[in-house]
Structure 1
Amino acid sequence: FNRGEASVAVSGPEFAEGALHLGNRNKSVGGQLAIDLERELNYGAAGLLAPGVLTDERGRRYLAPGSVRVLTTGSAGLSFGAFCNDGMHLEHTGTCNDGVGKSMSGGVIAVRSPGGGSSDAGGNVLIGNFALFGATGGRVFVEGEAGDRFAVRNSGASAVVEGVGDFAGEYMTNGAVVNLGEFGKGVGNGMSGGFFYQYDPRGELALRASTDSVLLGSITAATDPLAAVHNHAVQLLLELHVEATGSALGTRLLENWEVEQHSFVYAMPKALMLYQDSDAILAAKSHKELLEELASAIAARQVRTFKLAVRDGRPALNGAVPAYGETDTATMYALLSAYT
């Protein structure tokens, strides 16, 4: 990038046919690269200008999608793609140990099948347990199955996988996960945000999902006003999955979408409803609790006005003063609220 290049492809003498071969002692592949990119772009190269360097509304500098591509093969060790950052594209053909995409914040991780295996449950396991633990962004596409606790504590990443173990989506707070294959018990256990989509032609999700944590619905239900949104989201993620991995399963589902879409079910956290749905809020809270919450919110907003004025060294409300004898005006009440 210091030479003004728009993108970089990692290569070297140790690469066979353009891809670096990994063994299980190669841990956290891509992690140091992600940290170095963030440090260089935002703390070490303020004047760096390159076609691949962008700036967001907060002033953070980051790389355009696909700016840095790393191709690997073999059996990667723990935490492949940990801390994956914006602009990174890690494509691995083979298997990965536990912790894929751990704490990633951006970029793409694609794990492709090396061939072999089978279409039976457990016949094409490509990654280990607790993938996407603590992730806040980015995308993961797995052309095969994952272990237990896939997307545990995911807080913003999107993913498509072709089979998971137990407790998929556990403790998710944000993000979206599409599972096209088998699944174990406890789907959505403790979820408080995000969405989990399951291809469920046999109608088994209701029997194995954590129904005390999530609500289930069809992405084609005519009576569900959000079904069309979920339908579009699944289609989009499937298209990205096929683009990233060449998945035969994803391709088949898209080619037969008019039929297959009716087999997709979404899981939405009940906790999310308590913040987004007025009927659910009214059903869960008493009149007294709602009034107390409203009073606290109004008080906090008024106190913030005064706190910002003190922080900035200026009078509250920019020194506004009611005229002599003026009562019951908006300015008077605003001043009283700000100071008392």
Structure 2
Amino acid sequence: LFSFIAEDVRHILASLGVRRLEDVIGRTDFLHQISRGSELLDDLDLNPLLAQADPGPYARFCTLQGRNEVPETLDAQMIEDATPFFERGEKMQLQYGIRNTHRAIGTKFSGQIVRRKRGADLQVDHVTVRLRGAAGQSLGAFAVRGLKLEVFGDANDYVGKGLSGATIVVRPAPSSILVSQDNTIIGNTCLYGATSGRLFAAGQAGERFAVRNSGAVAVVEGAGSNACEYMTGGTVVILGPVGDNFGAGFTGGIAFIYDPDADFEMRINPDTLLWNRVTETYWAQHLRDLVTEHARETQSLYAERLLNEWERTLSRFWMVVPRDYARFLPVPMTAPAAEKIPAE
């Protein structure tokens, strides 16, 4: 295809009397305005656009050699500092201060894990990276098992995009006076397209949380509009309010929503979903285990309070699954009705 395009370009250049594309850059004298035969089109004067700019002693085209190099990411330093892990498999903990210009932290590091540790049986926290500050976009994008990212601060959009086995924990800085469940701690479109791994955030997520999640587990303390949109797998626990249009296109996986204000049913997209209170013992224990893990990882006082009042807390949760997915659950959503024993 490109050979044909190149041949056509050569024919056009030859018809103009030039040999190279560089020879026609800026040559507006090769252009002229044509008439379309309509008053609505022909009253537009394009001559100002056809004026030639005087380049002076310089060429009319870019003569810069090479390209604008992109500065190295924090991952380059992380990879260097993790030499004992890559060479001898040692378990490590690294610490860095970060700013929101540090983007895609953990992505290149994960690429090195895949290349150099393929097939290795790594612990989920084989390398723990503690970060203090505000993480830029795409924290932990495509991060793999063996890497655990802990942020003491907050993070921008796309946290855990394409998450592939890593664990990400985002919690307020120890000096923060903010109430976690009332404040946003991670941005929009987090966990987009995740396939595995875990995300715990002691605060609210932005809009479009867990869109196209297909296998990751996540616990957050609130979410904006369009949460769990097009989700196909995994488990999401939201310990607070959600925005409108929850679960549009949600076809697989499970969601648990804490609804103390009793307004969740006004926000859910009901076309293809089932939602019930959590009455089955199996699912109640599964939910409690996830909230407990969230409290342990993030030190969230809010999550600890919910656990301390668990009987009351559980009664305010909704379990949400797609209609067609419900029959594939290992245990039904609701406990079977007690069998009635006829009186003698």
Task: Mark yes or no: TM-score above 0.5.
Answer: yes
2:341 aligned partner: none
Query: How far is 1:7 from its partner?
Result: 0.3
Q: CA deviation at 1:274?
A: 6.7
Q: Distance in 2 between matches of 1:27 and 1:141?
A: 19
**Whole-angstrom CA distance in 2 between matches of 1:100 and 1:248:** 23
Deviations 1:55-111 (A, max 9, x none): xxxxx3341121100000111111001112112110001111100001111121000
The residue that corresponds to 1:231 in the other structure is 284
Question: How much has 1:193 moved relative to structure 2?
Answer: 0.4
* SS in structure 1 of the partner of residue 217 of structure 2: strand
2:318 pairs with one of 250, 256, 265:
265
Counterpart-to-counterpart distance in 1, 2:132 and 2:115: 28
What amino acid is the match of 1:26?
A: H
Structure 2 residue 299 is the aligned partner of structure 1 residue 208: no
Q: Which residue of 2 aligns with 1:187?
A: 246
Q: Secondary structure at the match of 1:33?
A: helix
Unaligned regions of 5+ residues in structure 1, if any?
11-18, 43-59, 221-226, 278-340
Match for 2:91: what amino acid? S
Q: CA deviation at 1:139?
A: 0.4
In structure 1, C-alpha distance between the alignment counterparts of 2:298 and 2:327, rounded to whole Å? 37
Change (3 A) 1:63 1:181: same
2:208 to 141, 146, 149: 149
Alignment of 1:64-75 (within 5 A): 64-75=123-134
Q: How many residues align?
A: 244
2:122/2:146 contact within 8 Å kept: yes
2:222 aligned with 1:169, yes or no? Answer: no
2:113 corresponds, among 13, 37, 44, to: 37
Max radius of gyration: which structure?
2
Aligned residue for 1:206, secondary structure, equals: helix
d(CA) in 2 for partners of 1:3 and 1:79? Answer: 27
2:108 maps to a residue whose letter is: Q
Matching residue within 139, 156, 159 for 2:198: 139
Indicate conservation of the 8 Å contact 1:171/1:189, yes or no: yes
Residues 199-248 of structure 1: CA distance to partner in whole angstroms, max 9, x if unpaired?
1122211111111121101112xxxxxx2222112111111101110011
Aligned to 1:126: 185
- Report the equivalent of 2:178: 117
Gaps of 5+ in 2: 1-84, 331-344
The amino acid of 1:262's aligned partner reads S
TM-score, with normalisation over the residues of structure 1? 0.68
Distance 1:6 1:228 in 2: 40
Tell me if structure 1 keeps the 8 A contact 2:234–2:254.
Answer: yes
2:180 and 2:204 in contact (8 A); partners too: no
CA contact (8 A) 1:188 1:196 kept: no
In structure 1, C-alpha distance between the alignment counterparts of 2:300 and 2:180, rounded to whole Å: 13
Alignment of 1:299-314 (within 5 A): none
| 1:112/1:144 contact within 8 Å kept | yes
Q: Is the 8 A contact 2:241 2:264 kept in 1?
A: no
| Per-residue Cα deviation, 1:98-154 (whole angstroms, up to 9, x for no partner) | 00001111121000012233467xx41111001110101110000001100110000
| Contact 1:83/1:102 (8 A) holds in 2 | yes
- Tell whether the 8 Å contact from 1:199 to 1:265 is kept in structure 2 after alignment: yes
Residues 277-320 of structure 1, C-alpha deviation per residue, up to 9 Å, x if partnerless?
A: 9xxxxxxxxxxxxxxxxxxxxxxxxxxxxxxxxxxxxxxxxxxx
Moved more, 152-161 or 227-236: 227-236
Q: Does 1:9 align with 2:93?
A: yes
Question: Residue in 1 aligned with 2:297?
Answer: 244
Q: Which residue of 2 aligns with 1:91?
A: 150
- Equivalent in the alignment of 2:104: 28
Contact 2:100 2:156 in 1 (8 A): yes
Any idea what SS the aligned residue of 2:117 has?
A: helix
Q: Helix, strand or coil: the match of 2:315?
A: helix
- Paired with 2:87 and 2:110, the residues of 1 have a C-alpha distance of 20
Aligned partner of 1:104 in structure 2 is 163
Between the aligned partners of 1:258 and 1:91, the Cα distance in structure 2 is: 30
Match of 1:308? none
* RMSD value, Cα: 1.8
Report the Cα distance in structure 1 between the residues aligned to 2:241 and 2:178, rounded to whole angstroms.
15
**Paired residue secondary structure (1:63):** coil
